[in-house]
Amino acid sequence: MRALALSVGPLCAVTLFACSDSGKANPVPPADAGGDAAFTYAATGCAYTVAPPESHDLADVALDDGQAPTDPTQAAPQRVRLGLGGNTTFGAAGYADPTTTAAFVWETAADFHGSKVRLGPSPTSFTTTQTGFSYVSAGAGPSNFHEVDVCGLTPATTYYYQVGGGAPGSEIWSATQSFTTLPAAGPVTIGVSGDSRDSSTIFQLVNERMRDAAVSMQLFSGDLILLGNEETQFSQWLDAIWTDPNDATKFLTLGQQLILFVGGNHEAMTTQYYANVALPGSGPAAESYGSFVVGSAHVLLLDDEAIAGEENSTFAPTQLAWIDQDLTLAEADRKNHPFLVVVHHRGDFSTSLHENDPDVVATRTALVPLWDKHHVDLVLNGHDHEYERSKPVTGPVSAPVVQTSSTAGTTYTICAGAGATSYTPGTTPVAYRQTNAAFGSGTPYVGVYSLVTFDGGTLTYKAYGLKTAGGSVAGDDVIDSFTLSR
């Protein structure tokens, strides 16, 4: 990666905002500061910085330079998406906050350094301009990316925006999109899905449901695409959820809803994956873990590839130490955010195809004791292409113990049907399994997805069998539902 030795904060225009090895041995303390890259982006008004580490292997990383692209016809923004930046220490300055912060990422065909966002309260009133940085994802078909982080937003507020760049007065801008920041209080509904890697068409259907359900955000548990080093696959799957398939003048969910993609084994911590997402964190293991609060829940995000021993396993000690730290802080905050929710790829407790795979066993062995220690309420997984839910359970992992109360154990769900080819659910009776369900051949469903609502001391979860007919959440079948209380 070509590192640039500078650390500056870009200026903004008149603004609404305040410019304001599996790793069990010898864990190292997690840190938010410092990485192994000399480039640092300090967005005006944000209390955190972005420093892509050498491990991401990005090239030509540069701040917005206000220059015109060499070929303006190749500078149109594509696949504009919303991510989340921020630090990973709960309660510290700059901690990831989807109620007041957004990270915009997009692509251009041309490699140039123009990276700006302008936004405001209406499609005709852009009152703020913020600058960012650009980078190139090398490998199969190099792609040119841009990121701008904006902080100081107002919770539960709709903003209209365009992304682009170029010489002042002659910038090239995208079409106008809009998004709504998450509310700081009150009930919040989020969408949950995973494993779309075999069909962008089914992935598109799931996102039509997410749009129609008007979820505040989406959590995706990994395996967006089949080959994590093929940029063309990221482009195809994200294109499928960018523009409305029924009206090319409108948008679907990409760039309209905050979607946080957790890495799976098919992303495999590749350069292309890191280039396509914006997630919290800094340092060598940046974007492989993070957390935030939404409604009455504290949500922990984890790319479990290192813990599974598959890729970059030297990251695992940092991840495990951070998990323990984050959940310790979250438990102390339970009065304000009673539910602890975890999202990662491999199913901690599964009775389908991958149940006894070595990488799954390694992940289960490392993580379940931490979920038990901190009384995690709900774990959201994928990997096995089915729907499955456990009863509230605790370890040991070799013989899970069913608990009579949801507060005494953790409920595990697998919702992995956003386009992946279906697996056969387990048929052997298992004491800890509450329910499972298939999709695909022999069923009315082409996939599965879930909606989760946090409302004070109540967490309501509904899983849906996705039908091609009907075209709405109301037309799909509820295949599972449950409530957790705190």
Residue 443 CA neighbour count, 13 Å, CB half: 22
pLDDT at 9 over 80: no
Tens of pLDDT, residues 225-279: 999 999 999 999 999 999 999 999 999 999 999 999 999 999 999 999 999 999 9
Model pLDDT for residues 395-432, shown as the tens digit of each residue: 999 999 999 999 999 999 999 999 999 999 999 999 99
Q: What is the mean pLDDT of residues 5-15?
A: 31
* pLDDT at residue 481, rounded to an integer: 98
Asked if the model's pLDDT at residue 35 lies above 90, the reply is no
**pLDDT tens digits along 57-103:** 999 999 999 999 988 889 999 999 999 999 999 999 999 999 999 99
Residues 6+ apart with CB under 8 A from 58: 1, 52, 135, 136, 137, 138, 271, 274, 275
pLDDT beyond 60 at 12: no
pLDDT tens sequence across 154-192: 999 999 999 999 999 899 999 999 999 999 999 999 999
Q: What is the pLDDT of residue 230?
A: 92
**Tens-place pLDDT, residues 300-322:** 999 999 999 998 888 999 999 99
Q: Which fold has domain 6-485?
A: Purple Acid Phosphatase; chain A, domain 2 (3.60.21)
Token readout for 380 is 């959201």
Longest dimension (CA), the chain: 67
Question: How confident is the model at residue 311, as a pLDDT?
Answer: 86
Predicted confidence band of residue 140 (pLDDT cuts 50, 70, 90): low
Percentage of the residues of the chain whose pLDDT score is greater than 90: 87
Q: What is the mean pLDDT of residues 277-299?
A: 96
Instruction: State the residue for tokens 């998004």.
Output: 179
pTM to 2 decimal places: 0.91
Rg (CA), the chain: 21
Q: Distance between CA 385 and CA 418 in Å, rounded?
A: 9
User: Is residue 85 within 8 Å of 98, Cβ to Cβ?
Assistant: no
Order of strands across the sheet with 339-343?
A: 289-294, 297-302, 339-343, 378-381, 411-415, 387-390, 433-437
Q: What is the mean pLDDT of residues 355-377?
A: 97
**Residue boundaries of the structural domains of the chain:** 6-485
Is residue 208 over pLDDT 50?
Answer: yes
**pLDDT at residue 366 above 50?**
yes
pLDDT at 21: 31
Alpha-carbon torsion, ordered 392, 374, 450, 386, to 10 deg: -60
For the chain, first and last CA: distance in Å? 47
* Predicted confidence (pLDDT) at residue 371 exceeds the cutoff of 80: yes
